[in-house]
Amino acid sequence: MAPGALDTANLNGGQRLAVRYFTVAVALFVVQTVFGLLAAQQYLTPSFLFATLDFNVTRLVHIDAMIVWMLFGFLGAVYWLLEEESGSPVVGLRLGHVVFWLLTVAVAVVVLVFLLVQYGPGTAFTLWFVNEGREYIEAPRWADIGIVAGLAVFFGNVVATFVRGRWTGIGGVLTLDLIALGGLYLAGMFYTPNLTIDQYWWWWVIHLWVEATWEVIVGCLVAWGLMQILGVRRKIVTTWLYIEVALMFGAGILGLGHHYFWIGTPDYWLWIGGFFSALEPIPLVAMVVHAVYDAGVQRLRSANNPALAWLITQAFGNFLGAGVWGFMQTLPQINLFTHGTQWAASHAHLAFFGAYATTNIAVFYLAVQRWRGNVWMGANLPGDGWKWKWALGLLTAGVLGMSVALLIAGYVESFVQRAQLGSTWQAYFAAQTHPWFTSAMWWRQLFGAITGAGVVLLVWDLATIGRGETRRAELPRAAPATG
């Protein structure tokens, strides 16, 4: 075997399954980016793909590919750390592989139906087999059931493995969080004619996933990653993790209320949602302090520089994208004018990238390092590691640029459409045709192209970094598990 070749002999059982999840996740990241560029182009030239692949299809694939690649990244990451964290081989690994293939085939079928069938009549058949038509959880009901069944098997494997091996703080938090993750998805699996009740439960899935349970998953992954990359002591990361969970759920569970301002719920939600969602940035500050402090203590020396750089990007991106961008529009008095505008798109781009894409990419770099036989990935890489550095720079600049452009577009909508003209259809188009709005959309597409270039470079780098490397990674101080 050539030095630094990809060889599954370098991986434990869980990690072999993990790299499959990671491969599909990267492929879906590419799909997300391509369809994002198509949808953004339709803002600029609305006749582009009109009546062939309309905006509602391109945008649907864009957001759903994003959700699924995040999830696949998380599932893979948990399998990646499971054996070392628990000290036991994964229980039910064969079933885990079967579920991986079932989930992957299901995702492919759902995407093909979205692209080729696109929509159906207003019947139960459509909701079960074509498109459920609810943003983010459009996947038809058969796929919902498959997702829940797949998550149940995954959860069973995780718990059984920790039970057979040893429980750790990270393992405990992860397990409780996965119960919530799977259980909450059930809240989105029913039909009601009442749109208010529909959206009430829809937000249990969307908000309590991305603003609560997903944040805790990445909290676990970042905690574990800091031990791997910097050798931070387990007791310290575990204590931080508990602090983050307390603050995250303390603010985020009732922060759900900021989605209940305008959907037909009692107006006390304005106070509850405004207050608790305004607290949501606090745990994200704690995460920045934690990551930056640990990196500083180690003087930025690490066993895996790309992974460390992505974790630091995560700390700032999560705080800026989820925390600051969310806070800007979360109080009801401003949200009345920003709700349903490009403000939300701006926030979503920066938050999903800053909190979740970055975490997954950091784990991908840890995975290729081990996959190639624990090769050197610290300083002094060939070409000074230009590929990972440029990928990081292009992706960060691209997403930040898109978010600022969309924010400007959102401001135009808030002022012109909502504040000045009162949100009629004519007011809507007055904002959409405003030169500030249209030029912002061109900037968005330019930064989208920069993001796309970053994705290409990232995939290239993940496929090649460490190839032919003969130096072994210098492991940081071991981080022993405590019970």
Partner 1 sequence: MADSAPWWASERFWRTAAVGVTGAMAVVLIFLTVDTYPAMQAGGSKVPPYTVINKAIDYRYDPQLKRQVPVVQETDPLFGEKRSAAAAKALVSKGKRIVQGRNCMNCHTLLGNGAYYAPDLTKAWLDPAWGSPAARESMMVAFLKDPPAYGRGYGSDRRMPDLGISDKEARAVVAFLKWMSAIDTNGFPANFPTMRQ
Tokens for 369, please give them: 């390092």
Cα dihedral sign for 325, 331, 334, 340? positive
Q: Does 287 bind partner 1 (CB under 8 A)?
A: no
CB distance 25 to 458 below 8 Å: no
Between 22 and 240, name the residue whose CB sits nearer to partner 1. 240
3-state secondary structure of 339: coil
- Residue 126 as a binder of partner 1 (CB under 8 A): the answer is yes
Of 56, 109, 53, 103, which Cα lies nearest the Cα of 76? 103
For the chain, the farthest-separated pair of C-alpha atoms sits apart, in whole angstroms, at: 68
Centroid of chain to Cα 121: 32
* Sole window of 4-12, 72-80, 261-269, 355-363 interacting with partner 1 (rule: CB under 8 A): 261-269
Q: Which of 224, 310, 337, 356 binds partner 1 (CB under 8 A)?
A: 337
**Cβ neighbours, 10 Å, residue 235:** 12
Q: How far is the CB of 71 from partner 1 (least distance, A)?
A: 20
* Phi/psi at 184 (5° precision): -65, -30
**In the window 63-102, what residues touch partner 1 (CB under 8 A)?**
none
Q: Which residue in 1, 383, 422, 478 binds partner 1 (CB under 8 A)?
A: 422
Closest to partner 1 by CB, 269 vs 325, is 269
What type of residue sits at position 189? M
Residue 302 contacts residue 378 (beta carbons within 8 Å):
yes
What 3-state DSSP class applies to 145?
A: helix
Of the candidate residues 50, 142, 271, 386, the single one contacting partner 1 (CB under 8 A): 50
Distance CA 186, CA 197 (A): 15
Helices (H) and strands (E) in the chain, counts: 19, 0
Among 155, 167, 242, 443, binds partner 1 (CB under 8 A): 242
| 341 interacts with partner 1 by CB under 8 A | yes
35 binding partner 1? (CB under 8 A): no
In the complex, minimum distance from the CB of residue 351 to partner 1, in angstroms, rounded to a whole number:
16
Q: Which stretch binds partner 1 (CB under 8 A): 122-130, 144-152, 352-360, 393-401?
A: 122-130
Residue in the block written with tokens 């898109």? 402
Provide, rounded to whole angstroms, the least separation between the CB of residue 93 and partner 1. Answer: 30
Residues 292-311 that bind partner 1 (CB under 8 A): none
Cα–Cα distance between 109 and 94 in angstroms, integer? 23
The answer to whether residue 471 forms part of the interface with partner 1 (CB under 8 A) is: no
Nearer to partner 1, 47 or 380 (CB): 47
Q: How far is CA 335 from CA 25, 125, 292, 414, 456, in A?
A: 33, 37, 32, 9, 36
> Looking at 103-111, 238-246, 388-396, 447-455, which segment touches partner 1 (CB under 8 A)?
238-246
Per CB under 8 A, the list member of 116, 266, 299, 435 interacting with partner 1 is 266
Tokens of 23: 């491969």
Binding residues for partner 1, rule CB under 8 A, total 88
Distance (Å, whole) CA 32 – CA 195: 28
CB of 340 to partner 1, least distance (A): 3
User: Between 192 and 470, whose beta carbon lies closer to partner 1?
Assistant: 192
* Binding flag, residue 443, partner 1 (CB under 8 A): no
H or E stretch covering 315 = helix 305-317
Q: CB of 184: closest distance to partner 1 in angstroms?
A: 11
Q: Is 439 in the site for partner 1 (CB under 8 A)?
A: no
Other Cβ atoms within 10 Å of 188 Cβ, number: 20
Closer Cβ to partner 1, 264 or 382, answer by number: 264
Interface residue with partner 1, options 16, 258, 339, 444 (CB under 8 A):
339
Among 27, 34, 149, 254, binds partner 1 (CB under 8 A): 254
- Residue 304 contacts residue 239 (beta carbons within 8 Å): no
Specify the DSSP element, H or E, that contains 397: helix 386-412
Q: Which stretch binds partner 1 (CB under 8 A): 112-120, 149-157, 317-325, 369-377?
A: 112-120
Instruction: Please report, as residue ranges, which positions from 129 to 148 form the binding site for partner 1 (by CB under 8 A).
Output: 130-135, 138
DSSP class of residue 356 equals: I
Binding part of the chain for partner 1, among 103-111, 250-258, 360-368, 466-474 by CB under 8 A, reads 250-258
Shortest approach of partner 1 to residue 292 CB, angstroms?
17
Q: Which of residues 164-183 bind partner 1 (CB under 8 A)?
A: 169, 173
Q: Is 279 helix (H, G, I), strand (E, B) or coil?
A: helix
Q: Is 46 a binder of partner 1 (CB under 8 A)?
A: yes
